Amino acid sequence: MTVSTETRTGATVWFTGLPSAGKTTLANALAERLREREVAVEILDGDVVRPVLSPELGYSRADRDANVARIGWVAALLARHGVLALASVVSPFAEARGRVRELHASRETPFFEVHVATAVEVCAERDVKGLYAKQRAGAMDGLTGIDGEYEAPAAPELVLDTAGRSISSAVDELIALLEKENLL
């Protein structure tokens, strides 16, 4: 592996959206493209990070906000050190996402909110983790977007709907955003 002596500016790309919207799929595909360009990148997938950073937390609003804050802090730390941090987190509440944005701003670290705005019906059809089926069967309450609240971003840097389009074309939009901001 070649290590670049060029110092890159880091940033956080924060993917938010309903369960099974395509957040993690997009983050993984973007990371692959960035690694091809020898860009330092880390994925902070909410499902992977939660058991490590927030094992004691449940799914109340306060617990969800605490989890988002912890992931946001790690993302900001990585970004401050030149890494492109790709956070794939449902993060249903605008206020919590806003605090993560403010943390990045206070550190003069770029932050890009990407709303993966796939319709709930499409997410339920995909049902990657079986959450929608559990909710329909009465085995789960509070599923984000069904009987749990989701506050869509008011002014994200990018809105992507993954239904009926290729992952590659969505990643092209993400790459274009990062290039426009001189991060690639």
* In the predicted structure, residue 4 carries a pLDDT above the cut 60: no
Annotated catalytic residue within 60, 91, 166, 169 = 91
Residue 91 DSSP one-character state: -
* In the predicted structure, residue 1 carries a pLDDT above the cut 60: no
- CB neighbours (10 Å) of residue 118? 21
Is there a catalytic annotation at residue 20? no
**Rounded-to-integer distance, Cα 68 and Cα 99, Å:** 9
Summarize pLDDT for 8-61 with one digit per residue, the tens.
789 999 999 999 999 999 999 999 999 999 999 999 999 999 999 999 999 899
Summarize pLDDT for 99-139 with one digit per residue, the tens.
999 999 999 999 999 999 999 999 889 988 888 888 888 88
**Rounded-to-integer distance, Cα 12 and Cα 107, Å:** 12
Domain 11-178 fold: Rossmann fold (3.40.50)
Give the start-end residues of each E strand in 23-78: 41-45
